[in-house]
């Protein structure tokens, strides 16, 4: 079964022996490498038949790859049981004490003069560990902080550094569109977004209007980018010499969605002509600017993605940067 679990809403496959899967939203208790966790059953309306998942591993992997969802088809753990009212009460209790733990941890960081902002606390349902999510401008040596937290709570402690987008995913609210942030509702893969996408879609370039809750460019700018790139590929470049029903002229701009071309005629008159009514006489030489061709624009996107992947591999911003975990009986160890 597929379960969404954890504070970061991770998707994972879990082994089970159930013959019937409820066809409604259902909370479940699962066993992961962290311990017992409370999650939510995913896809209960269609992919299950007689307790068996309809897709084989190859089909499932293809579905996730096509949907650009980062999830492994390897089992993430085992299904333990369906959640009860007592489990819901325990979850509410853990959420309350997590607020106190967050306040205490922030107090300790201030006293120790650590440049850290505690964003949230995740108390593993089984009580095996407590995870503190924090933000910092650089790497932080928090070994002494881990010792104090482990001594205070007599539990395994884990600190995870996150970036601005993960903070929005945890604390996000209603966006300017009137809907909850996409990263909270369904968006699991946060791909890079660049200013070229906003320019191509003729969106305002006011940073305050095209930036999301996290302070970065809105993820929704990427949703239609592939279509814009494909449609722009049909339009001639600027300065291309063309024939039109009104006469010969040069392309000065284009309307991507409408597939119209704006042309300056020989007498200086500006006309807008449908793409199908023009005939290219002489193609404009490429000047190397990314906004001249869709191919160059898409190339810029690929370069941005490679840069983003490089940053993730070397100094990640939207994932774990450094991590420390310990318990009250073990020596500190860095992972």
Q: At residue 333, does pLDDT exceed 60?
A: no
Q: What is the pLDDT of residues 264-284, one digit of tens each?
A: 998 889 999 999 999 999 887
pTM of the complete model: 0.65
Closest C-alpha to 198, from 180, 184, 216: 216
Please report the pLDDT score of residue 79 as a whole number: 93
Residues in the chain, how many?
335
Closest C-alpha to 73, from 58, 84, 95: 58
With cut-offs at 50, 70 and 90, classify the pLDDT of residue 309. very low
Are 285 and 241 in contact by the 8 Å Cβ rule? The answer is no
Please report the pLDDT score of residue 286 as a whole number: 67
Distance CA 273, CA 284 (A): 18
With cut-offs at 50, 70 and 90, classify the pLDDT of residue 287. low
Q: Where are the alpha helices (DSSP H) in 34-171?
A: 57-66, 85-111, 143-153, 164-171
With cut-offs at 50, 70 and 90, classify the pLDDT of residue 289. low
Q: At residue 158, does pLDDT exceed 80?
A: yes
Please report the pLDDT score of residue 302 as a whole number: 52
Are 178 and 206 in contact by the 8 Å Cβ rule? The answer is no
From residue 223, alpha-carbon distances to 220, 226, 302, 313 in Å are 5, 8, 15, 25
Distance CA 47, CA 282 (A): 55
Tell me which of 4-18, 52-66, 87-101 is least confident: 52-66
Please report the pLDDT score of residue 80 as a whole number: 92
Instruction: Count CB neighbours of 325 within 10 A.
Output: 18
Share of the chain above pLDDT 70, in %: 81
With cut-offs at 50, 70 and 90, classify the pLDDT of residue 308. very low
Please report the pLDDT score of residue 297 as a whole number: 46
More confident residue, 262 or 306: 262
Each domain of the chain, given as residue ranges in start order, spans: 2-83, 88-162+320-334, 167-228+293-314, 234-282
With cut-offs at 50, 70 and 90, classify the pLDDT of residue 314. very low
For residue 199, give both structure tokens.
Answer: 């320019």
Q: What is the pLDDT of residues 206-261, one digit of tens each?
A: 888 888 888 889 988 988 899 999 999 999 999 999 999 999 999 999 999 999 99
The CATH classification number of 234-282 equals: 2.30.30.60
Distance CA 182, CA 221 (A): 12
Q: What is the pLDDT of residues 120-145, one digit of tens each?
A: 999 888 788 899 999 998 888 899 99
325, 183, 63, 80: CA torsion to nearest 10: 50
- Neighbour order of strands in the sheet with 156-161: 117-123, 129-135, 156-161, 323-326, 333-334
Q: What is the pLDDT of residues 21-75, one digit of tens each?
A: 888 888 999 999 888 999 998 877 667 776 677 777 777 777 777 766 666 778 8
């Amino acid at each position: 079964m597929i379960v969404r679990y954890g504070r970061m809403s991770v998707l994972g496959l879990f082994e089970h022996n159930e013959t019937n899967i409820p066809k409604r939203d259902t909370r479940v208790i699962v066993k992961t490498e962290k311990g017992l966790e409370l999650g939510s059953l995913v896809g209960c309306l269609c992919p299950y038949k007689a307790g068996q998942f309809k897709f084989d591993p190859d089909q499932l992997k293809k579905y996730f790859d096509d949907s650009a969802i980062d999830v492994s088809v390897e089992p993430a753990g085992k299904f333990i049981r369906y959640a009860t009212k007592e489990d819901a009460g325990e979850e509410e209790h853990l959420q309350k004490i997590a607020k106190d733990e967050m306040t205490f941890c922030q107090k300790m960081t201030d006293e120790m003069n650590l440049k850290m902002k505690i964003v949230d606390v995740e108390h593993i349902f089984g009580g095996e560990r407590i995870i503190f999510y924090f933000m910092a401008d650089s790497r932080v040596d928090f070994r002494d902080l881990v010792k104090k937290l482990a001594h205070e709570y007599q539990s395994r402690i884990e600190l995870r550094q996150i970036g601005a987008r993960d903070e929005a995913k945890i604390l996000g609210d209603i966006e300017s569109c009137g809907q909850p942030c996409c990263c909270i509702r369904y968006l699991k893969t946060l791909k890079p977004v660049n200013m070229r996408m906003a320019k191509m879609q003729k969106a305002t370039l006011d940073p305050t209007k095209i930036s999301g809750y996290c302070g970065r460019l809105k993820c929704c700018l990427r949703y239609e980018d592939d279509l814009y790139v494909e449609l722009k590929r049909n339009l001639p470049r600027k300065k291309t010499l063309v024939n039109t029903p009104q006469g010969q002229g040069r392309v000065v701009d284009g309307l991507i969605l409408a597939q119209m071309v704006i042309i300056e005629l020989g007498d200086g008159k500006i006309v807008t002509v449908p793409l199908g009514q023009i005939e290219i006489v002489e193609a404009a030489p490429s000047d190397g600017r990314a906004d001249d061709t869709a191919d160059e624009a898409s190339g810029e996107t690929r370069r941005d993605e490679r840069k983003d992947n490089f940053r993730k591999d070397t100094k990640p911003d939207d994932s774990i940067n450094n991590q420390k975990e310990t318990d009250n009986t073990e020596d500190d160890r860095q992972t």
